[in-house]
Chain A
Amino acid sequence: MADDDDISRRYRELPREEPPHHLDDAILAAARRAVHTRPAPLVVPSGRQRWYFPLAAAAIIVLAVAVTMHVEREQPTGEVVSSATAPVAAAPSAREVPEEFRTEKPPAEKPKPAAQPERRRKVESADARQSRNELRDAAPPPELQKAPEPAPPPAAPAQDAVGGVAQSASGLRLERTEAPKPARAASSLSAFAQQSPEQWLQGIADLRKQRRHEEADKELAEFRKRYPEYKIPPAMRERVERR
């Protein structure tokens, strides 16, 4: 045993070679790199980082709920616009304005019975009308937008039928936000019925002026059905009622 110790002692007297420093650096760097690039630990982190994960999860949930609610709130409007845009854009005003008020038609022409537009209007569903109305609120038809002059005051009668259309059309554009919304229950509404009561009456008066009394009677009956409480001013009554 003493011999072993002697050998060990002598051996330790030998030069103590050490690895070169560049080797040390390379190995230690590799060790640090391996630790830093290791995958995320499976154990729950401790200390201050403990609350990071619940906070991050809560933030994600709140964000998801907010986005969902926003999308749900935006979606109905987008659907109405998208479903109503195409037909209105394809047929801007022909469906809305009765044929007798078209500018191409000479005033002296024999009035056409309003049965066809009436029938067409009857088949339209109430929802379609509502969609169209909403869309018109958002984007008036080209004719209405292109109204060349500001509308004269309603008291001043139009010079002719075309002028009357222009007047009521521009009046529609200006008063749209003020006019009370008609009830949905009305079964068949004319183009006048979608306007304000005053404009409706003005349209009836125009029909009387053109001697289209049957249509005027129908419109007046429809008006009274729609606005039973509405008191027609005497001056207007003279113009809209058959004499």
Chain B
Amino acid sequence: MLAYGAGDAGAFETLYARHRGGLFRFVLRAVKDRGAAEELFQEVWVRVIEARERYAPKARFITWLYTIAHNLLVDHWRKKGLSLVALDGDEVPSESANPARQAEAREALARLVQALESLPAAQREAFLLHEEGGLSVAQIAAATGVGEEAAKSRLRYAMTKLKAAVDDG
């Protein structure tokens, strides 16, 4: 990113090639709408381009990249009247995450996808950051602006639910 900030367009292409798939799937599975996902995906990279000269390597680039994506997702959900915080926590499980309803799925992957979509947004985001971005708990905490304990909890709940959904079959 520093090379791109200094004017090396090839450096951006390298970064983009490395992170485009993971970021796109992260956004796509977070919003569950392809059109909105493409729009958000493009917006993330536009922000990266705009910030090229003031970028300071305080953390790994991928953490910074997914922080931008997280902030845009928060804005997206806010526009839709949703709140990331309200969906956070395991105490209010999603109705669709009921293992009994998912038991009808024939294949484990289908159940996994369904379970993933059924996860509370914060848990799903933590899971996707971990799987698509390869972020550690600390990095997830940094990217989403929460403490490490909260990040670890979200990731743990997500894993547990997904495993339960897969095992249901």
Q: A6 to chain B: which residues have CB within 8 Å? A: 163, 166
Please tell me if the beta carbons of B162 and A7 are within 8 angstroms of each other in the complex.
yes
Given the interface pairs A3-B163, A18-B24, A35-B7, the reply to whether A30 lies near B46 with Cβ below 8 Å is yes
Please tell me if the beta carbons of B109 and A14 are within 8 angstroms of each other in the complex.
yes
- Size of chain B's interface in residues, with CB distance under 8 A? 31
Q: For the complex, would chain A's binding face be called helix, strand, loop or mixed by DSSP majority?
A: helix
Q: Which residue of A lies closest to B132 (CB)?
A: A11
Given the interface pairs A6-B163, A10-B112, the reply to whether A31 lies near B49 with Cβ below 8 Å is yes
User: Which of B37-45, B56-64, B77-85 is the contact stretch?
Assistant: B37-45
Interface assignment of B55: CB less than 8 Å from any CB of chain A: no
Q: A38 to chain B: which residues have CB within 8 Å? A: 7, 53
Which residue of A3, A10, A16, A23 is within 8 Å of B109 (Cβ)? A10
Interface assignment of A24: CB less than 8 Å from any CB of chain B: yes
- State in angstroms the CA–CA spacing of A28 and B9 once bound together: 9
Q: B142 to chain A: which residues have CB within 8 Å? A: none
- State in angstroms the CA–CA spacing of A7 and B4 once bound together: 36
CB distance from B53 to the nearest CB of A (A): 8
- State in angstroms the CA–CA spacing of A30 and B44 once bound together: 13
Q: B25 to chain A: which residues have CB within 8 Å? A: 16-17
Q: Which residue of A lies closest to B12 (CB)?
A: A31
Question: 1/0 per residue A31-65: CB within 8 Å of B?
Answer: 11011101001000000000000000000000000
For the complex of A and B, 5 pairs with smallest distance between CB atoms: A31-B12, A19-B24, A35-B9, A27-B45, A32-B9
Offer 24 A-B interface pairs, CB within 8 angstroms, sorted by A.
A3-B159, A6-B163, A7-B162, A8-B131, A10-B109, A10-B112, A11-B162, A13-B109, A14-B112, A16-B21, A17-B24, A17-B25, A23-B38, A23-B42, A24-B20, A27-B16, A28-B13, A28-B16, A34-B52, A35-B7, A35-B9, A36-B9, A38-B7, A41-B7
